Amino acid sequence: MEQRCTSDASTQLPDGSAPVSLGIDLSLADLRARVAKVPPSPAYVYVIRTVGLDSQRLFRQRGTAPNMEGGLITLCTCKHHLRTYRTPQEWVGLWIAGFARSALSPMGNPLVYLMRVGQAAESHLDLWRSLPDAVREAKAADRHLLGDIYRPREAAGPGDALDPSSYQPPCDRHSHAADGEWHKDICYVARGKRAALLAGEAGLSFLFRSPSIILKGRKLGRGQVKYASVLDLVGSLEDVE
C-alpha cells in the first residue's frame, strides 16, 4: 500500500524547532573566517539542478537532496557517483559545496550550501540509527515528499542494510518513488565502491537562502569540480552586489 506524503513543501529550510547547527545567510567575510578555523582539506563542488527561485528570489528546493530538514544537511539521494569517490571514513572532514545553476544569476553560480562532512555512513540503516529521533523523522522518505533517509523495517538487521526490501518505500509522490528508482539510493555501486551517505558537521554547515554569494571566474556544468583546499574554494567566492 502506498504511503501518502504528509509534507508538500517545496523548500527545505530549517523551522524554529530545528537544532541550531546551521550557519544561515552568513556574510562572505564571516564564512571565510569560520572555514579558516579548521585545518584545510579538499572540497567537492557541484550544481544542484533541482534548486530554483521563487517570486521573492529565494531558493526553492524541489528535489530530495541536499536535505536541510531537522537542522542538519544530508546528502543521501543525489550525487551517487560522487559519493563513491571515498570510503565513509575518508569522507569525514572533507567539504562539499552545492551551487545553483548559473542561469539563476547573471554573475555566476550562486552558493546554496557548504558543509564539512561530520558523519558518513555505509547504509541508511546505520545513518537512521545514529540520528536523533526528531532529525530522522524530519528526513524520513516514507513521510515527506523531499525526504532523503529511508526508514528501516523493524526486522532489518546489519546483514540486510543494502537490501531495499529492508526499508519502508518512499511516500507516493516522492521523486524517487516511480519504477523503484529509490532502490539505487539504498545500494549504489560504481567501480566496486558503494556510495557513502553524508551528513554535515554541526557548526561547519552553512546554508544560504538567496543568491548572495557566487563562484567567480567559472561556470559550473553538470559534473563536479574538486578544489585541493576549501580555502581555495572560499577564496574564489564573491559577494553579489
Distance from C-alpha of 195 to C-alpha of 77, rounded to nearest angstrom:
10
- Grid coordinates standing for 28? 562572505
Indicate the pairing of strand 43-47 with strand 95-99.
parallel
Q: Is the peptide bond preceding residue 66 cis, with omega within 30 degrees of 0?
A: yes
Select from 19, 4, 12 the least CA-distant residue to 148: 12
Distance from C-alpha of 83 to C-alpha of 198, rounded to nearest angstrom:
8
Instruction: Tell me the CB-side half-sphere exposure of residue 68, using CA atoms within 13 A.
Output: 28
| pLDDT tens-place values along the chain, 241 residues long | 345 656 544 444 444 444 447 899 999 999 999 999 999 999 999 999 999 999 999 999 989 999 999 889 999 999 999 999 999 999 999 999 999 998 888 889 999 999 999 999 999 999 999 999 999 999 999 999 999 999 999 877 777 899 999 999 999 989 899 889 999 999 999 999 999 999 999 999 999 999 999 998 788 987 789 999 999 999 999 999 7
- Grid coordinates standing for 103? 542561469
- Residue 181: which residues within 8 A CB-CB, separation 6 or more? none
- Grid coordinates standing for 91? 569522507
pTM of the entire structure? 0.91
Instruction: Tell me the CB-side half-sphere exposure of residue 135, using CA atoms within 13 A.
Output: 18
